[in-house]
Structure formats: structure tokens, C-alpha cells
Structure 1
Amino acid sequence: MAAQTQYEELARQLSAVGAVKREVARIMPTECSAGSAAVLALLERHGDMRMSNLSELLAVDMSVTSRYAAHLAERGWIDRSPDPADKRSRILHLTAEGRAMIAELSRRSAELLAERLSDWTDDEVSQLIRLMTRLRASFGDTRTTTHQHAPQAAPSRTTRTPAQAT
């Protein structure tokens, strides 16, 4: 087990990751907030899903998810349709415009990371990805969980593995 001083330094380093996130946010289109980008990325990764599943993946209240969905629908990036199994629930689908936006977000992020990490080896980048995925899984990050693409009548059981990060 690591020493107390190592955990203290890790806490400082994790706190400083906020600066990286802020720089990534600065290169994003103004009409696409970090929350909106997260929703688009989750829909791309996991496919169509109920609002309740999205709330779980985002680890936010359903009212927050509803606001994100409304924002994205207004811009034409997602469609919301009634769930055939439960007409009170909505299924979220990425539109062609949403797929184009997620491609643009991905391109911008990848370019920034490639520029800033240009002196890193491929192995170092892979190691960082692996360790960050493992760290998130250790904290029970639900985004490391694979969800069914099709809506489920009842909650499905999922398993978490470090290789399934978003």
C-alpha cells in the first residue's frame, strides 16, 4: 500500500486535473457545454437509452438530465421518443447532427491532446488511459459500466471492467 505522502500528492495532482478539463472546455463550441458533450458521448458509446439510464451514467438527478436532453433536442442533436414499453418514459437517440457534433468534439479534443502530449510515447499515453480507467472503476464510476443499447423493461445487471471506460 502506498504511503500517506503518496496519497496526499495524488490528491494534489487530481485537483490540478481541473486545469486540463478547463482547457479542453475552452476549445469546445460555445453552444455545447461539458454536460451536453457528456450526454452526446454517452449516447454515442452506449446507443439509444432511457432518460433514467442516462441519469445513472451521468450520476445526476433526473431533472438535470431532462435539462440536458431539452438543450440537445432544441439544437437537433438528439430525438426524444416515447418508450414503447412505458409511454411515460422517453428514449434518447442521436441524430445525424448529433453524430456530426460528437465527431467535431472528438476531433477538437484529440487535436489538443495530441499537441499537448506530443512528447509522450504511445506507451505512456496507453498507460495513462489504463490507470485513469482503473482509478475511475475504483471509485465506482458508472460510466465504466456497459449498458444495453435497447431499452429494458426492468433494470439490467451490468458488470464493470477496467477496459470499458468512456
Structure 2
Amino acid sequence: MARQAQYEELVRQLSAVGAVKRDLGRILPPDCSAGSAGVLTLLGRHGDMRMSNLSELLAVDMSVTSRHAAHLAERGWLERSPDPADKRSRILRLTPEGHAMLAELSRRTTELLAERLSDWSDDEVGQLIRLMTRLRASFGDCRTAPHRPPPTTPTVSTETAGTTETTETTRTPAQAR
């Protein structure tokens, strides 16, 4: 098992991934936000779906998903049609223009990664992919995982001058090791 210092370094490195995400965000077309790109990517990967399914995949509130869908529909990248099974619900579908934008986003992202990782071997890129896939799998489906409070120590009873006091101590994950 890794030592505490390794986990602390891992936290620093994961925080630095934000810089990579920001750089990837800078290559997006002006009218395509990171949220819009995420919606296009999910629809490209999973196909037509209900707005509620997309909201779940994005792990955001339905109102946020609705704003993204409206933005994409205004640009002609997405169409919203009534769900035949439930007329109150909408089915989201990429248009040919949406597929073209998705292809453009993929091209831009691939070019940036190829440029930034040009001194990496194919094996190193493959190793990064395997490790990131494994890291993501270790966290499971983060959209539905409940937040867990820090671990606590067992309840301790102490007697002082004829009274009993019960205390519970909360420890940080680092202290729990």
C-alpha cells in the first residue's frame, strides 16, 4: 500500500490536472463552452436520450442540462423532440451540424494532446490511459456515491468524580492511517 507522502503527492498532481483541463478549454470554439462540449460528447457516445438521462450523466441539475440543450439547439447542433412514450419529456438528438462540431472538437483535442505529448512514447500514453481508467474505476460512479464523513474512533467513556462522559473523536483520513 502507498505511503501517506505518496497520497499527498497524488493529491497535488490531481490538482494540477485542472491546468490541463483549462488548456483543453482554451481550444474550444468561442460559441462552444466546456459544458456544451460535454453534452455533445455524451450524445455522440451514447446516442439519442431523454433530457433526464443526460442530466444524470452530467451529474447536474435538470435546469443546467436544459440551459445547455437550449444553447446547443440555438446553434443548430441539437434537436429536441417530444418523447413518444411521454409527451412531457424531450428526446435530445445531435443534428448533422452537431456531429460536425463534435468531429471538430475531437480534432482540436487530439491535435493539442499530440502536440503536448509529442515527447511521450506510445507505451507511455497507453500506460497513462490504463492508469487513468483504473483510477476512475476505483472511484466507481461518483455521481451517485454518497458523501462519507471522516472516520470516527470508537466511543470512549471516562469516569471523573462520579460522572461518566462519552466522547467521539473525528479524525481526518490522514490521521486514520
Q: What range is the shorter-chain TM-score in? A: 0.7 to 0.9
What is the CA–CA distance in structure 2 between the aligned matches of 1:142 and 1:122, rounded to whole Å?
30
Please name the residue that 2:122 is paired with: 122
5+ unaligned residues in a row in structure 1: which ranges?
A: 144-166
Please name the residue that 2:137 is paired with: 137
SS in 2 for 1:108: helix
TM-score by length of 1: 0.83
Please name the residue that 1:157 is paired with: none
The residue type paired with residue 27 of structure 2 is: I
The residue type paired with residue 23 of structure 1 is: D
1:58-90 Cα deviation digits (max 9, x unpaired): 111111101100000000000001111111111
What is the CA–CA distance in structure 1 between the aligned matches of 2:50 and 2:124, rounded to whole Å?
37
The residue type paired with residue 67 of structure 1 is: R
TM-score by length of 2: 0.78
**Larger Rg computed on CA atoms:** 2
What is the CA–CA distance in structure 2 between the aligned matches of 1:32 and 1:20, rounded to whole Å?
18
Higher relative contact order at CA 8 Å, sep ≥6: structure 1 or structure 2?
Answer: 1
1:2-45 Cα deviation digits (max 9, x unpaired): 11111110000000011111111111101000000000000000
**Residue identity (%):** 83
Q: CA separation of 1:50/1:67 partners in 2, compared to 1, >3 Å: closer, same or farther?
A: same
Please name the residue that 1:38 is paired with: 38
What is the 5 A alignment of 1:42-61? 42-61=42-61
5+ unaligned residues in a row in structure 2: which ranges?
A: 144-177
C-alpha contact 1:57 1:142 (8 A) present in aligned 2:
no
What is the CA–CA distance in structure 2 between the aligned matches of 1:141 and 1:26, rounded to whole Å?
28
Q: CA deviation at 1:127?
A: 1.2
Q: RMSD in angstroms over aligned alpha carbons?
A: 1.2
SS in 2 for 1:120: coil
Structure holding more strand per residue: 2
What is the CA–CA distance in structure 1 between the aligned matches of 2:28 and 2:3, rounded to whole Å?
39
Q: CA deviation at 1:142?
A: 6.5
Please name the residue that 2:73 is paired with: 73
Please name the residue that 1:12 is paired with: 12
SS in 1 for 2:137: helix
Please name the residue that 2:28 is paired with: 28
What is the CA–CA distance in structure 2 between the aligned matches of 1:120 and 1:68, rounded to whole Å?
36
Please name the residue that 1:111 is paired with: 111
C-alpha contact 1:82 1:89 (8 A) present in aligned 2:
yes
Please name the residue that 1:100 is paired with: 100
